[in-house]
Structure 1
Amino acid sequence: MTFLRYTALGDSFTEGVGDIDETLPNGVRGWADRVAGALHVVDPRVRYANLAIRGRKLVPIVEEQVDAAIALEPDLVTIHAGGNDLLRPSVDIDAIAAVYDDAVRRLVATGATVVVFTPHDPGAAPVFRALRGRFAILAEAMRAIADRRGAVLVDYWRIRDYDDVRLWSFDRLHMSPAGHQRMAIAVLDALGVEHDLQPLPLQPLPELSSVDRHREDLGWVTGFLGPWLGRRLRGVSSGDAVEPRFPTWSVPPA
């Protein structure tokens, strides 16, 4: 398939957090940039917009990004949301699914091809494993939404490559460059777009002693978990001062 106007919506997953590139807006690249780049190889007329902002919950994503996306008249839209809702102390997953469903309905009604995602399976992540039931319920809701609305589904839950810690960044919450590359491949494959993207090479995992593992866990607590919890307590989001990376049509980054 050929697409010429691709708009990406969502939170940090789509903004590209974890895939550091200081030469690009917000200092990140991400899987959506990689998808846009692959589309541009197929057809140099391709233009790309990315409205995603880190830290956003579902309702703000819908309120801030869906109408803006529709106004751009894209022929391809990806939307990923809900992860930040699932991490809150309490969440109404049925309400999230209803909002999500209506947003996808509106996007599909424009005639664009719409790509949606299940959340990933956090079963291999000790810190987030306790939330696995929430993620599973939303995953099944997203499969139902894709079926009902005729959207393209990327079933993140079933991509078992993400059980490998090397596909995750230091914060254990966002994908690493290798994880973003793997997601770009999954999206392009789901769309049936020919591409030459290959998984990034992975370094061998070091053998850690229990002391080293404890030191690594402590570094994660002080370097990420503590500041993250502090922002939650203060009602501050990591995206409060962040602007969309590509709010209007742009040539995809090389």
Structure 2
Amino acid sequence: MRTGSGAVRFVAVGDSFTEGVGDELADGAVRGWADLVAGGLAAATDGPVQYANLAVRGRLLAPIVTEQVPAALGLAPAPTLLTLNGGGNDIMRPGVDARRLLGLTEQAVGRVVESGVQLVLISGADPSGRLPFGATMHRRAAQLTVALEEIAARHGATFVNAFADAELRRAGYWSPDRLHLGPAGHRRVASLVLATLGHDVAAAAVDPGPETPRRLRAEVRYYREHVLPWLGRHLRGRSSGDARTGKHLDWVPVTPAPAGTAPLA
């Protein structure tokens, strides 16, 4: 399972979870767990590491499978490692067809595995405890996660179950919109992925302190700043990812963290 020595070419596909939304840097760019995994690989691998990230916020599973996965496999030179996550935006929509999502996922997994690229299939973390209609979203995501693990097992792919990570459900790991992971959450997912790949990385954890009580004024502000704009976009058939492309459409070299520093810092 360990990525080992030699050249590593790591490509990530997916939606906002993989793009890194919620882990914004001072210049406004997003980092996220996939960037941190790339840095961790560079720190732990003898050979060069190259990285591409085709994920785009707001993307449904179908374009991830039919557009991003073929583009990832078409990179030259070919990738050695690919992470796949998707479906989170689909399950927030009414009337979602779970069987279609699973069929699309199996299609993508089969294609990647048949190409000879090492695949890591990742379930998204669980934000449902503090979201409107969170119980419905949790039920759908839980069912999807069980099926994803079965798909990974059938194809011999690696599976990282971020959804089942109870630590990640704490408020301190999430951004103010409660839907996307914050910096601490992205660090924890990165450490889970690296550990699953066989690297000696402890799961990142923070002590966010006690949960802040939900006060009416704060809830009103949350709905005004986050929920209503999301609803408005969807009523207009718009997405936060419209006109966006992946942040690294081709290979970029990854520099290991300086000696004595943590690769997930």
In the TM superposition, residue 42 of structure 1 has moved relative to its aligned partner by: 1.9
Indicate if the aligned counterparts of 2:17 and 2:124 stay in contact, CA closer than 8 A. no
Alignment of 1:239-254 (within 5 A): 239-252=241-254
Change (3 A) 1:123 1:59: closer
Change (3 A) 1:207 1:233: closer
Corresponding residue of 2:261: none
1:18 aligned to 2:18?
Answer: no
Corresponding residue of 2:175: 169
Return the alpha-carbon distance in structure 2 between the equivalents of residues 55 and 222 of structure 1: 20
SS of aligned partner of 1:226:
helix
Amino acid at match of 1:85: D
Return the alpha-carbon distance in structure 1 between the equivalents of residues 183 and 142 of structure 2: 25
Q: Cα deviations across residues 140-177 of structure 1 (Å, max 9, x unaligned)?
A: 11011111111111112221112211111001100010
Change (3 A) 1:226 1:117: same
1:130 aligned to 2:142?
Answer: no
Corresponding residue of 1:70: 73
Indicate if the aligned counterparts of 2:192 and 2:203 stay in contact, CA closer than 8 A. no
In the TM superposition, residue 179 of structure 1 has moved relative to its aligned partner by: 0.3
Change (3 A) 1:123 1:65: closer
Q: Cα deviations across residues 192-220 of structure 1 (Å, max 9, x unaligned)?
A: 1234x662544434654x6xx21221111
Provide TM-score, normalisation by structure 2: 0.88
Indicate if the aligned counterparts of 1:122 and 1:129 stay in contact, CA closer than 8 A. no
Indicate if the aligned counterparts of 1:22 and 1:28 stay in contact, CA closer than 8 A. no
In the TM superposition, residue 20 of structure 1 has moved relative to its aligned partner by: 0.7
Corresponding residue of 1:225: 227
In the TM superposition, residue 133 of structure 1 has moved relative to its aligned partner by: 1.7
Indicate if the aligned counterparts of 2:125 and 2:169 stay in contact, CA closer than 8 A. no
Corresponding residue of 1:106: 111
Q: Bigger shift: 117-126 or 70-79?
A: 117-126
Corresponding residue of 2:51: 48
Return the alpha-carbon distance in structure 1 between the equivalents of residues 188 and 32 of structure 2: 10
Change (3 A) 1:111 1:217: same
SS of aligned partner of 1:83:
coil
Indicate if the aligned counterparts of 1:118 and 1:156 stay in contact, CA closer than 8 A. yes
C-alpha RMSD over aligned residues: 1.9
Alignment of 1:187-226 (within 5 A): 187-195=193-201, 199=204, 201-205=206-210, 207-208=212-213, 213-226=215-228
Indicate if the aligned counterparts of 1:33 and 1:252 stay in contact, CA closer than 8 A. no
Amino acid at match of 2:56: I
Change (3 A) 1:13 1:100: same
Change (3 A) 1:10 1:123: closer
Count of aligned pairs between the two proteins: 248
Q: Which runs of 5+ in 2 are unaligned?
A: 258-265
Amino acid at match of 1:16: G
Provide TM-score, normalisation by structure 1: 0.91
SS of aligned partner of 1:74:
coil
Higher fraction of helix = 1
Corresponding residue of 2:260: none
SS of aligned partner of 2:38:
helix
Q: Which runs of 5+ in 1 are unaligned?
A: none
Q: Cα deviations across residues 115-137 of structure 1 (Å, max 9, x unaligned)?
A: 11234445533521232221121
Q: Bigger shift: 229-238 or 115-124?
A: 115-124
The counterpart of 2:159, out of the listed 153, 162, 168, is 153
Indicate if the aligned counterparts of 1:120 and 1:135 stay in contact, CA closer than 8 A. no
Change (3 A) 1:223 1:45: same
Change (3 A) 1:201 1:122: closer
In the TM superposition, residue 50 of structure 1 has moved relative to its aligned partner by: 0.3
In the TM superposition, residue 103 of structure 1 has moved relative to its aligned partner by: 0.5
The counterpart of 1:7, out of the listed 11, 17, 29, is 11
SS of aligned partner of 2:74:
helix
Return the alpha-carbon distance in structure 2 between the equivalents of residues 50 and 239 of structure 1: 15
Indicate if the aligned counterparts of 1:178 and 1:202 stay in contact, CA closer than 8 A. no
SS of aligned partner of 1:27:
coil
Change (3 A) 1:201 1:141: closer
